[in-house]
Structure 1
Amino acid sequence: MDRLDAIRLFVRLVECGSFSAVGREAGIGQPAVSKQIVALERHLGAQLVLRTSRQVVITETGQTFYESAKQLVDDFDALESSVGERQQSPRGVIRINTAPAHGRLWVTPLLPEFLRRYPDVAVELSVSERQVDMVGEGVDLAIRHGRLVDSSLTARKLSETDFILAASPGYLAARGVPTRLAELDRHACIVFAKGRERRPWSFKVGQETVSYVPHGSVLTGDAEHIRAAVLCGLGVAQAPFWLLANEIRSGEVQVLMPELQPERLPVHLVYPAGRRIPMRVRVFIDYLVEAFERPEAPPLRAKKIRHVAS
């Protein structure tokens, strides 16, 4: 038994709560993971895990051991990475997951400079509106919008994005400019929907957050189609600012009722916790963070726009 490998597997078992998930991540079978944990317990002379048919329960001794083991693994990985960086340049494939529209508009345009810096690195873009199983699908890094709920991931905040209400000037000329929330009932709404479930719009009214269920003839689960529908003059949409930023700047789209804009949502880079981050992934994380901090960074906030409709 390689004790460090066994300790690493145990750390991931605590964080994932599943022998099979750890096995998939490590590229070995579930029985092999179990065998390593049993050998570690035998070596330590203590039971770390209680196994039942439905769940894995970490013992009190196991929890205490985990806290020290986690620090040991992190320290070792940092040492290994620092030595490796002196010996070689980043190389290999980075598998990145992002929403289709965000990837096309604001991630892909950043790739030429990155690939010039690191010519031995390749980038594989996986695009989806759903949140993928990063370990199960072999994804190194994902860009997530909104509050994070998966505690098994490590997150690094990129920025925050505004959610704005918007429509084309042609639509507003024909239907009028809504100035109050109640007036949306008289307008065609472009609705983000999963299946037939419409996603409510959120507004800040005074100190309260208010939900509004939009109605309209256009429903879609894809941000690109929301953008296209707004540009075609099909109605009013609530969307992340970055989706329509260029069109807002050019005047093709107008922002409505900015005083009702809800709280900004965070944008994070996320990656599986507890594993060593390959140098190729780490340099891409640093590059994206740097790119989003530049004055000409991908636009995420409406405050950069001086003219809005009221």
Structure 2
Amino acid sequence: MDRLDAIRLFVRVVEKGSFSAAAREAGIGQSAASKQIAALEARLGAQLLQRTSRSLAVTELGQSVYDAALRLVEDFSALDSLVGQGQSNPSGLVRVAVAPVFGRLYIVPRLPEFFGLFPNISVEMSASDRHVDLIEDGFDLAIRHGDLSDSSMTVRKLATSPFLTVATPTYFERHGTPTTPGDLTGHACITFASQQSIRPWRFAGGAVHRPDGPFRTSDAEQGRAALLAHLGIAHMPAWIVAPELASGALHLALRDYEMETTTINAVYPSRRHLPTKVRLLLDFLARTLALDLNLPC
């Protein structure tokens, strides 16, 4: 293993917080990984990591070396990509974490176009509503919705989606169409709950409705299915129901009272140089979401 490989290994040990995890990723044994880091420390004449039988911590100097090493590794990767393959032929795998319904509606249908533009880039999608640890789980980026609290990540807003109040024409025919937020009282509401906390519906003018109904869920796909089964009326981001609104399967209510919005964001580890393959996918998603949702990037 040459010096650059040792530096790469050190970066992954810090990011993984584990010799064994970094060693598995590099395809070497844990003992070999430990020896490589020890050799790097000896060459630099400084302790980079504090090791005990139960924990691994980065020293203050080790953190500074990590920051410099990360820039070095990324600069070399960018140079290698530029010289070896050229910007006209980007390649490699992009691993993306995305909510299941969003990936199915807005990413997978667009991938043929993306692969036609960049045939040597491949995409692996992990469909999950949980917030994965991008570094620990090895993802290049995640598509997340709403307010974000992880300040260690870089965030790029892809689109903004309003909340809409919707139901099927059949539901409105049976139960009437509300014309003000106050009219929602008595309607069967499809509610979205997280950890037993039901999300209130907020409207222009300060109106707030506490929804109640026979069905609640924490899953957007189940909410769509409940709507289409005429189970009630829902207040949800437009991107979830855009295809059904376009087809007429769902109708809008309370259009004059729309106020809430949610953002659709791309989140990725903070780096000075974003790999070309990731940047190209990000730019593509921003363009196609603007078309598919008719919303600003």
TM range (shorter): 0.7 to 0.9
Say whether 1:159 aligns with 2:159: yes
Matches within 5 A, 1:127-206: 127-134=127-134, 139-150=139-150, 153-178=153-178, 181=181, 183-193=183-193, 197-201=196-200, 203=202
CA–CA distance in structure 1, aligned partners of residues 154 and 19 of structure 2: 20
Asked if the contact 2:177/2:253 (under 8 Å) is kept, the reply is: no
Equivalenced residue count is: 295
Q: Check whether the contact 2:201–2:211 (CA below 8 A) recurs between aligned residues.
A: no
Map of 2:49 onto structure 1: 49
Greater Cα shift, 115-124 or 23-32: 23-32
Residue identity opposite 1:197 in structure 2: Q
Unaligned runs of 5+ in 1: 304-310
Alpha-carbon shift at residue 299 of structure 1 (Å): 0.6
Once the two structures are superposed, residues 131-181 of structure 1 have per-residue CA deviations (whole angstroms, 9 ceiling, x without a partner) of 345556554443222334456655433222223332233323433444555
> Could you tell me which of 224, 228, 252 is aligned with 1:254?
252
One of 203, 213, 226 as aligned partner of 2:223: 226
**3-state DSSP class of the match of 1:265?**
strand
Q: Distance in 1 between matches of 2:9 and 2:142?
A: 23
Alignment partner, residue 242 of structure 2:
245
On the 8 A contact 2:78/2:275 being kept in 1, the answer is no
Instruction: Using structure 1 for the length normalisation, give the TM-score.
Output: 0.75
* Greater alpha carbon shift after TM alignment, 279-288 vs 57-66: 279-288
Pairwise CA distance, 1:83: 1.4
- What residue in structure 2 maps to residue 66 of structure 1? 66
Q: Which amino acid aligns with 1:118?
A: F
Q: Could you list the per-position Cα deviations for residues 7-49 of structure 1 after superposition, in whole angstroms to 9, with x for gaps in the alignment?
A: 2333344445444554455454554444333222222111222
1:265 to 258, 262, 265: 262
Question: What code does the residue aligned with 1:107 have?
Answer: I
TM-score calculated relative to the size of structure 2 = 0.78
Q: CA deviation at 1:241?
A: 0.8
Distance in structure 2 (CA, Å) of the matches to 1:259 and 1:66: 51
**Shift of residue 52, structure 1, vs aligned partner:** 4.2
* % identity of equivalent residues: 48
Measured after TM superposition, the shift of residue 237 of structure 1 is 1.6
Matched with 1:104 is: 104
1:168/1:231 contact within 8 Å kept: yes
Equivalent position of 1:307 in the other structure: none
Question: Is 1:286 aligned to 2:283, yes or no?
Answer: yes
Deviates more, 1:266-275 or 1:230-239: 266-275
1:66 offset after TM fit, Å?
2.9
Secondary structure (helix, strand or coil) at the match of 1:89 reads coil
Partners of 2:164 and 2:30 lie apart in 1 by 47
Deviations 1:100-148 (A, max 9, x none): 2212221122122222223344444432333345556554443222334
Which residue number in structure 2 is paired with residue 119 of structure 1? Answer: 119
- In structure 2, stretches of 5+ residues that fail to align are none
Structure 2 CA distance, aligned partners of 1:31 and 1:205?
Answer: 62
| 8 Å CA contact 2:158, 2:266 repeated in 1 | yes
Q: Answer yes or no: is 1:299 the counterpart of 2:293.
A: yes
1:76 is aligned to: 76
Relative to structure 1, is the Cα distance of residues 58 and 254 closer, same or farther in structure 2, using a 3 angstrom cutoff?
same
Structure 1 counterpart of 2:100, one-letter code: P
Q: Which amino acid aligns with 1:283?
A: L
Q: CA RMSD in A?
A: 3.7
SS of residue matched to 2:157: strand
Q: Deviations over 1:44-103 (max 9, x none)?
A: 111222234554333222233333333323322222222133288344554433222212
Could you say if the C-alpha distance between residues 173 and 219 of structure 1 is closer, same or farther in structure 2, counting changes exceeding 3 Å?
same
- Label 1:253 to 1:4 Cα distance change in 2 as closer, same or farther (>3 A): same
Q: Residues of 1 paired with 2:10 and 2:151: CA distance? A: 17
Hey, what does 2:11 align to over in structure 1?
A: 11
Q: CA deviation at 1:228?
A: 2.3
